[in-house]
Amino acid sequence: MTGHTPMIQQYLQVKAEHEDAFLFFRLGDFYELFFKDAVEASQILEITLTSRDSAGPDRIPMCGVPYHSAAGYIETLVRQGHKVAICEQTEDPKAVKGIVKREVVKIITPGTMMEGKTVDANTNHFIGSIDQLDGGFYALAYLDLATGEGKVERVEGDERTLIAEIEALGMKEVVVDERLHLALSDSMAKRGIMLSIEYGESEADTENLFGAIPSTLKDAGTMLFSYVKRTQKTALDHIRPFEFIQKQTKLSIDANSMRNLELVQSIRNGTKEGTLYWLLDETVTAMGARKLKMWIHQPLADKRMIENRLDTVTELIEAYFLRDELQTSLKEVYDLERLAGRISMGSASGRDLAQLRNSLRRIPAIQKALHESDWPLLREFSSRIDTCDEALGMLEAAIAENPPLSVKEGGVIKDGYDEKLDQYRDASQNGKAWLAELEREERERTGIKTLKIGYNRVFGYFIEITKSNIHLADLERYERKQTLANAERYITPELKEKEDLILNAEAQGLELEYVLFTTVRDAMKTYIRQIQQLASVLSELDVLLSFSTVSEKRNYVKPVFHDGKALEIKNGRHPVVEKMMDHSLYVPNNCKLTEEANMLLITGPNMSGKSTFMRQVALTVVMAQIGCYVPCDQALLPVTDQIFTRIGAADDLASGQSTFMMEMMESQHAIANATEHSLLLFDEIGRGTSTYDGMALAQAMMEHIHNEIGANTLFSTHYHELTNLDEELSRLENVHVAAMEQDGKVVFLHKVMAGAADKSYGIYVADLAGLPAPLLDRAKSLLMTFESKEKMMVREAEPQQLTFFDLQQEEQEVHSKEEQEILSGLSDVDVLNMTPMQALQYIHEWKEKLQSRKG
């Protein structure tokens, strides 16, 4: 630092404590960046890079942005995965000689950014923290800083399982210790997730936040709270006690399955449209939209809780006029959770408090409507609503009806709230009128028609009388202030009394108003918990109203749950596909899984609807377990604990994994974690490798699921040879999606029927895709050739009838010593207790032995 100016030395001292962040250093009306920060920021933000003199031969790189428009620049940096430290002047420059004291007042990170054009208020923005537990498990804590909503869960699985959960929650930043930072750096970087290290422990008492969390999981939560406290440097009173997510009460859906089922994000374009969330979102509040998305992410797995939601939806469907009244009132309720967060962190504006007041005004009507309803569950909702009367009373008294966005513009505090402020406002707003009235009165009193009241910066306000009229003035009451060539200037006690008030009214009024506003805002912190509890109840009501609206509009039915494993859906429909097409054209399908036969092997041509059928079953389960009616004529469902899907295929270019490897990894994850109460959906397993490899893998997986797991399973395939498995696996049944030929063309019936498909219709699908006619004719010719060769090979392979002695002789001639060893080993293998990977290893060893014999 030697040789640098005092200001640059100050900058370097602050920067040394925040090496991992861009330092926005406040200088007057600008935030300035220097050295490396300036070079990098100028490129990212596309702003001019300048320089300033330095002690050495090289100039100091420099760039800056106006403080009043800095938010957009900060958002750009954070959105691209950077941290920004805001360094403000903490002393009044007018009261200090020399360098003004500056301190970092806030660090904005990808996980703690709460406002901005790219921040979707309808979505939770979680920042997470991870602690590794004994046995290789993980504790995962996550917090939405804007709403104060925090959760802790135990992740039972490997690193892939952990990362899948983090991705499913949409986290942009995760806090870890140094050990996990080394272990997870590469994996997180490939997925665009920032890893931040927290070294210290929170000095605050966090028992009220983590009292309900098991002791082994608390460290993850306290580490997260410590990081947020250190970066935000403000009160965090709005953070609610963290909720412990118990695995047995939630339906677990990993990130792959959420993506495959398009629950909240479309595979095609990454947007909301075309998802289950898009279908169900008839919410009218931002907090309701967030809760709906969270319910979809974590459906219930508790039968009593599911049925309670469904019963409430039933009552809302029946109470049509009440439903309309409630939704109309809720439309006027702002985002109470985020408003509470801004109040807690001291960033709420006058407009925010006005929105809170306007929202609270609507609550008594909502409570009354529910209380007077004829439905018991809706009356119960009424008892859970706190109208926050004290908070409303304070806001009604203090906050103006339409305050400006900026607190320092004035007009935030209501007239009549503070007598002194009213005087300032009266003086400021009515000063000229008062002076005009005083001038009129003095003219009447003295009879001097040319008397006037004037003002200058040196003498302030004065009464000016020409020298020819001085004899008419009441000189006992007038005090001479200035003498001019042809006039005298006076001041009266009355004018002198008002002068300071008039001159300083606006500035002093704004200053007093800001003090009054911050006092009211701080007082509102007392009611944060009440407001958050109210928000929780209203957001739940909003989601259930949305369910009832969608269910009635789309003719959904109430599902029935039971304690077994059987699943029966009559005339089921894919809810999203149905919405996107004409309802009358949609072909419904049945799905029946019984206790004795809970695996379906689905065959049929491409484009016939196999994947759609599988997805619609999973979506029906998800909809039912979040408490919504379902798209079918009748649904009898078990309570499902996990859903695993292997539908579709895409290379993971970030980690260098091929389609087939991703298919195998996702399949392994499902098989390793599924229970008998899970739902498994496998679509054309093994298509990414050779025919026999793929067929062997598919069969081995089905056998393992059937014999070892027992989960409800839908398994589609193009390997028609596998349809014979229904003879070996007692709980497996064949179904197919029907198609027919008409005038040389294939017609997809989209109807699921019993039995296996008789052919694949692949060439017909190619015809539909528009491939050239000569190419298709050649394909048909080749197909006939291949099929005739296969039949010939089958006939040649058929054994002739042999006598016992002939057979014995044939066996002795055919089987070598190596083959006898293989056959002997095969007879000793316990197939029922073998994993798919072990089966493949055995097959590989036998193949090598046979090849070595031929060689």
Higher pLDDT, residue 799 or 728:
728
Give the CA radius of gyration of the chain: 38
Q: Any idea which of 304-318, 488-502, 589-603, 735-749 has the lowest mean pLDDT?
A: 735-749
Sequential DSSP letters for 287-330 = HHHHHHHHHHHS-B--HHHHHHHHHHHHHHHH-HHHHHHHHHHH
Half-sphere exposure of 664 (CA within 13 A, CB side): 14
Higher pLDDT, residue 204 or 3:
3
User: Environment class of residue 358 by beta-carbon count within 10 Å: exposed (0-12), middle (13-18) or buried (19+)?
Assistant: middle
Structure tokens at 544: 């259930």
Structure tokens at 406: 């900026």
CB 547 within 8 A of CB 629: yes
For 329-386, write each residue's pLDDT tens digit: 999 999 999 999 999 999 999 999 999 999 999 999 999 999 999 999 999 999 999 9
Backbone angles phi, psi at 763, to 5 degrees: -70, -30
Mean pLDDT over 267-280 rounds to 90
Which secondary-structure segment (H or E) carries 472? none
Length of the chain measured in residues: 855
d(CA 303, CA 561): 7
pLDDT tier at 613, thresholds 50, 70, 90: very high
pLDDT at 822 over 90: no
CB 113 within 8 A of CB 347: no
Q: Mean of the per-residue pLDDT values for the chain?
A: 86
pLDDT score of 605: 74
pLDDT at 159 over 50: yes
Higher pLDDT, residue 797 or 290:
290
**Owner of token pair 């702002």:** 334
Going through 109-257 in order, the beta strands assigned E by DSSP cover 126-132, 138-144, 149-155, 173-176, 194-197, 243-245, 252-253
Which conformational region is residue 741 in: left (phi greater than 0), alpha (psi within -120 to 50 degrees), or beta? beta
Encoded amino acid at 150, one letter: G
As separate numbers, helices (DSSP H) first and strands (DSSP E) second, the chain gives 28, 27
d(CA 775, CA 784): 15
Structure tokens at 822: 């293989």
Stated pTM of the model: 0.81
pLDDT score of 810: 46
Structure tokens at 690: 């050779």
pLDDT tier at 832, thresholds 50, 70, 90: low
d(CA 622, CA 253): 9
d(CA 56, CA 255): 54
d(CA 363, CA 377): 18
CB 93 within 8 A of CB 64: no
Tell me if 604 is assigned to a ligand binding site: yes
Q: Strands 102-108 and 149-155, how do they pair?
A: unpaired
Encoded amino acid at 142, one letter: Y
pLDDT score of 808: 45
Backbone angles phi, psi at 32, to 5 degrees: -110, 145
CA end-to-end span of the chain = 76
For 551-605, write each residue's pLDDT tens digit: 999 999 999 999 999 999 999 999 999 998 866 678 899 999 999 999 999 988 7
d(CA 628, CA 637): 13
Tell me if 605 is assigned to a ligand binding site: yes
Structure tokens at 248: 């047995």
Backbone angles phi, psi at 153, to 5 degrees: -140, 160
CB 144 within 8 A of CB 124: yes
For 398-439, write each residue's pLDDT tens digit: 999 999 988 888 899 999 999 999 988 888 778 878 888 889
Which secondary-structure segment (H or E) carries 257? helix 255-261
Q: Residue 645 forms beta bridges with which residues?
A: 681
- Closest alpha carbon to 603 in 746, 698, 715: 715
pLDDT score of 820: 67
d(CA 418, CA 398): 9
Q: Strands 243-245 and 149-155, how do they pair?
A: parallel
pLDDT score of 801: 44
**Three-state SS at 237:** coil
pLDDT at 32 over 90: yes
Q: Any idea which of 136-140, 366-370, 529-533 has the lowest mean pLDDT?
A: 136-140
pLDDT score of 811: 47
**Three-state SS at 226:** helix
**Three-state SS at 727:** helix
d(CA 167, CA 193): 9
pLDDT score of 707: 93
What distance lies between CA 266 and its chain's CA centroid?
A: 14
Higher pLDDT, residue 263 or 502:
263
Q: Could you tell me which residues come within 8 angstroms of residue 772 by beta carbon, excluding any fewer than 6 positions away?
A: none
Start-end of H helices in 474-527: 493-524
pLDDT at 848 over 90: no
d(CA 662, CA 487): 96
pLDDT score of 64: 94
Q: Any idea which of 198-202, 342-346, 514-518, 692-696 has the lowest mean pLDDT?
A: 198-202
CB 461 within 8 A of CB 495: yes
d(CA 443, CA 445): 5
d(CA 331, CA 770): 50
For 35-46, write each residue's pLDDT tens digit: 999 999 999 999
CB 513 within 8 A of CB 507: no
Structure tokens at 318: 């029946």
Tell me if 611 is assigned to a ligand binding site: yes
pLDDT at 652 over 60: no
pLDDT score of 425: 87
**Three-state SS at 363:** helix
Task: Give 375-378's long-range contacts (Cβ < 8 A, gap of 24+).
Answer: 375/315, 375/318, 375/319, 376/315, 377/308, 377/311, 377/312, 377/315, 378/312, 378/315, 378/316, 378/319, 378/322
User: Environment class of residue 130 by beta-carbon count within 10 Å: exposed (0-12), middle (13-18) or buried (19+)?
Assistant: buried
d(CA 393, CA 406): 23
d(CA 599, CA 592): 9
**Three-state SS at 265:** coil
**Owner of token pair 């009306």:** 29
Mean pLDDT over 596-616 rounds to 87
Mean pLDDT over 769-784 rounds to 69
Sequential DSSP letters for 99-141 = SPPEEEEEEE-TTT---STT--TTS--EEEEEEEPGGG-EEEE
Mean pLDDT over 158-174 rounds to 89
Neighbours of 500 (CB within 10 A): 12
pLDDT score of 839: 67
